[in-house]
Amino acid sequence: MASKCLRELIAQADERGLAASGLACLDRCLPLLASESDVLRPLWAGLVDGAEDWSVRLGAAREAMESETVSDEAAVLVRQMLGAAPSEWEREPLREWADDCSVAALELHHRFDASPAEGEPEAADVVEVLKNCREGEPTSAGPLVAGEVRRQIQVLEILAEGEGGVGLRQALDVSTEGQRILRAVVSRRARVQR
């Protein structure tokens, strides 16, 4: 059976899958903040219980992230991803948030995929590349974006299997791997620009 595209998986996910999908996208982008922190860990832990304490844990994560140093546009976008998370544990607001986080994470990964020597592609081209990735056609994407698409799909597929805490642990592992990759890329880019 062919794997579903990212947009289909988001459309079919339940509340827990949507919350975890958005959270995982955000988690993988944390290396773009000035400091490393575990501000999202309480939210991950709370996903086991679903709606219980979601809004309280979300408020605490937002407060913790506000103390993070924001040094550039990418870091601002990461903070906005968390700020846009719905306080209510309802399917439609969570789906909209998960969808927005998916696009934002792909856009951020695309920024680090493009070689500075090649210059940035036109904005319309970027939109088309990201749209194609979400529709299951990542052929024109760079390796960072293609990897991010794979991880987004993996997280949603793991959670669709409905394995509760075990599934969430696996989703967090996928996210942590993506975080390590982006951290290495950000570090390498910083060394080159010195």
Say which residues have a Cβ less than 8 Å from residue 5's Cβ, sequence separation at least 6.
134, 135, 136
Position 163 in a domain:
yes
Position 12 in a domain:
yes
Position 167 in a domain:
yes
pTM given for the model: 0.88
Position 85 in a domain:
yes
Position 28 in a domain:
yes
pLDDT of the chain along its 194 residues, tens only?
A: 346 789 999 999 999 999 999 999 999 999 888 666 688 988 998 898 888 889 999 999 998 888 777 778 888 899 999 999 999 999 999 999 999 999 999 999 998 886 543 444 555 577 787 888 888 776 778 899 999 999 999 999 999 987 667 889 999 999 999 999 999 998 888 777 76
Total of domains in the chain: 1
Check residue 114 and give its pLDDT.
62
Measured between alpha carbons, how far is residue 100 from residues 25, 29, 35, 105, 123 in Å? 10, 14, 24, 9, 17
Q: Which of 78, 110, 105 minimizes the C-alpha distance to 6? A: 105
Q: CA–CA separation, 138 vs 40, rounded Å? A: 29
Say which residues have a Cβ less than 8 Å from residue 64's Cβ, sequence separation at least 6.
37, 39
Q: Which of 115, 141, 78 minimizes the C-alpha distance to 193? A: 115
Position 1 in a domain:
no
The string of DSSP codes covering 71-103 is -SHHHHHHHHHHHTS-SS--HHHHHHHHHHHHH
Position 118 in a domain:
yes
Domain that holds residue 48: 6-193
Position 109 in a domain:
yes
